[in-house]
Amino acid sequence: MLLQPRRGYTPDFLAPPPQGAVDSFADDLARIAATPPRQARAEIARSLAETPGAAATATGRLLLDGDPADTVALLSDLVAAAWQALVEPYWPRTRALLETDVAYQARRLADGGLDRLFAELHPSVRWHDGVLTREHGGDDHRDLHGEGLVLMPSAFKWDQVVVVLDAPWQPTLIYPARGIGNLWQPAAGTRAGNAALARLIGRTRARLLTGLTEPATTGWLAHRHGLAPATVSEHLSVLRDTGLVSATRHRHEMRYRRTGLGDTLAARGEAP
């Protein structure tokens, strides 16, 4: 896409900075649609200018020469369509991955401070003596002076980290979420190795228990295993009552995780 080159400037209004940890896409889309036309025109022109020949293409001319308000509406509709077709069907599992990463990194920060946090965040990131360095990041330097740094996991930046320093963003480092390699793996079914566990607690409960490798919500588990949320909730209640899983509330959702006993049973069930 002309306005999202692999290298170069992408209009800021198409990717507004998050206003909180749980922004909804509807909120983000409303912010894109409310972009002042003059701002949108300037950012589009800047983006096209950084790609040789982009402004002379039919699409480039349409974006630059059309009414800026119509252009904002057109791009908002395209972003919404891309979300509905490419992201929304997979959002429950993607959001679960991101939230799990945030919880994991928060534990590392609490356990060992910034040294522990940045030690394995990404191979290209180094933290030493109060300075965070990204390899192959150019010569730009930024003193934060108390601004703080937002760390944002991504399910789509699998091979690199991205540093955003320009307003309206707070200084932000976007990095690949932990476990991204397993995001698109199919859910594990009941194999010969967990047949005994399935006979003990039932096939569906065995699938849920062995698949609960990270804390997860009912909605994510339902999407992951192709089950109705009510069905998953019922089975989780049984697993919880028998001490195989525990639950903690996170904002308006319950997250389930295996207990020590659940880990033991799941490990035996997964054994060949």
DSSP labels, 186-243: PPP---GGGHHHHHHH-HHHHHHHHH-SS-EEHHHHHHHHT--HHHHHHHHHHHHHTT
Q: Which structure tokens are listed for 233?
A: 């909730």
Pair 86, 96 in one domain: no
3-state secondary structure of 152: strand
Query: Is a pLDDT exceeding 50 seen at residue 157?
Result: yes
The answer as to whether 185 is a domain residue is no
Backbone angles phi, psi at 196, to 5 degrees: -65, -40
How many structural domains are present in the chain? 3
Q: Domain for residue 4, yes or no?
A: no
Residues 232 and 255 in one domain: yes
pLDDT recorded at residue 240: 94
Q: Specify if 187 maps to a domain.
A: no
Q: Is residue 3 part of a domain?
A: no
> Same domain for 63 and 96?
no
Last residue of a domain, one of 120, 155, 179: 179
pTM strictly above 0.85: no
| CB-CB contact of 104 with 175 (8 Å) | no
Largest CA distance in the chain: 68
Give the position of tokens 């749980």. Answer: 22
What percent of the chain stands above pLDDT 90?
A: 33
User: Within a domain: residue 108?
Assistant: yes
Answer yes or no: is pLDDT of 271 > 60.
no
Are 51 and 28 members of one domain? yes
Residue 249: which domain range? Answer: 192-270
Q: SS3 for 164?
A: strand
Q: For residues 185 and 34, is the Cβ–Cβ distance under 8 A?
A: no
Task: Report the run of H or E that residue 110 belongs to, with start and end.
Answer: helix 91-119
The residues pairing with 174 across neighbouring beta strands, listed in sequence order, are 152, 162
Q: Give DSSP secondary structure letters for 45-102.
A: HHHHHTSTTGGGSHHHHHHHHS-HHHHHHHHHHHHHHHIIIIIGGGHHHHHHHHHHHH
Each residue of 216-239: pLDDT tens digit?
A: 888 878 877 878 888 999 999 999
CATH number at residue 258: 1.10.10.10
pLDDT in tens, 35-63: 999 999 999 999 998 888 888 899 889 89
Give the percent of the chain with pLDDT over 70. 92
Considering the domain boundaries, does residue 142 fall inside one? yes
Q: Are residues 115 and 40 in the same domain?
A: no
Same domain, 84 and 112: no
Say yes or no: 236 and 221 in one domain.
yes
Q: Is the pLDDT of residue 17 over 60?
A: yes
Residue that terminates a domain, selected from 136, 153, 179 = 179
Whole-number mean pLDDT of the chain? 85
Which of 71, 90, 109 corresponds to the end of one domain? 90
